[in-house]
Amino acid sequence: MSKLFPKSANKLPLQIIVFLFVFGGIATAGVTYYMTPKYTRVGYAPVQPVPFSHALHAGQLGLDCRYCHSNVDKSGHANVPTAQTCMNCHNQVKVDSPLLAAVRQSYETGEPLPWVKIHQLPDHAYFNHAVHVNRGVSCVECHGKINEMEVVTHTQPLSMGWCLDCHRNPETRVREPGDIYNLNSPTIAEKSGIEAGIKFVHDWNIKPPQSCSGCHR
């Protein structure tokens, strides 16, 4: 058969096996790194229609999260404020700032500002903000240190595995009810040890669901 195939063809099986292992390894590593939410979601920081600085408002000025996101502790949905909320102050402060032109226009016309949504809830998943913030889960756990962000950035993967990390071990992540909106506060476990975290989870009857239907209804 030397007429049909060169002698080097004898090495082909080994070469194919080596190639498959190398290719398979690279493909697995590539998919694991580049195609999971740790890469695809984290770091997303789109340009917003108004250059609103959370670092200035929530950090420096110390506005409570709920001043703008006023229904986060009452509703499943954390609302984005209307221009009316902005104008509560900005009819007095920086009245003529060109940066706020879009806000004034929205206020006058009633057309909402086209904010770009950063934290996307996956299809077919149900999430309730009020249940979380009223049971010791601070904003910072999912959204990161918003109070230090000039531009809001996606800091956590928000993958299902990431949700389950906390749902399986809530005692490591819960905070005192008074610390929920203080994004610089430590968790109970960091402050008083894991035993205190376990006690809080028990006393507050925190039972995060781990079944499919807990989130996929």
For other proteins, give the closer residue by CB, 18 or 101.
18
Residue 3 engages other proteins in binding (rule: CB under 8 A): yes
Residue 24 engages other proteins in binding (rule: CB under 8 A): no
Residue 19 engages other proteins in binding (rule: CB under 8 A): no
The count of chain residues that interact with other proteins, using the rule CB under 8 A, is 16
Nearest alpha-carbon partner for 89 in 110, 106, 67: 67
CA distance 170 to 168: 6
Tokens of 181: 């909106």
CB of 185 to other proteins, least distance (A): 28
For other proteins, give the closer residue by CB, 36 or 85.
36
Q: Is the dihedral of CA 208, 209, 210, 215 positive or negative?
A: negative
Residue 14 engages other proteins in binding (rule: CB under 8 A): no
CB of 11 to other proteins, least distance (A): 12
Q: Spell out, one character per residue from 144 to 183, where the chain touches other proteins: x when CB under 8 A holds, - when not.
A: -------------x-xxxx-x-------------------
For other proteins, give the closer residue by CB, 10 or 213.
10
For other proteins, give the closer residue by CB, 92 or 211.
211
Residue 47 engages other proteins in binding (rule: CB under 8 A): no
Between the alpha carbon of residue 49 and those of residues 56, 92, 184, the distances in Å are: 17, 21, 28
CB of 170 to other proteins, least distance (A): 16
Residue 89 engages other proteins in binding (rule: CB under 8 A): no
H-only helix segments in 59-123 = 65-68, 83-90, 101-109
Nearest alpha-carbon partner for 88 in 107, 71, 75: 107
User: How far separated are the first and last CA of the chain, in Å rounded?
Assistant: 64
Q: How many CB atoms lie within 10 A of CB 204?
A: 14
Q: With left for phi above 0 and alpha for psi between -120 and 50, is residue 115 left, alpha or beta?
A: beta
| H/E element, 28 | helix 12-34
Task: Name the segment binding other proteins (CB under 8 A); options: 2-10, 56-64, 97-105, 192-200.
Answer: 2-10
- In the complex, the residues that contact other proteins under the rule CB under 8 A are 1, 3-5, 9-10, 13, 36-38, 157, 159-162, 164
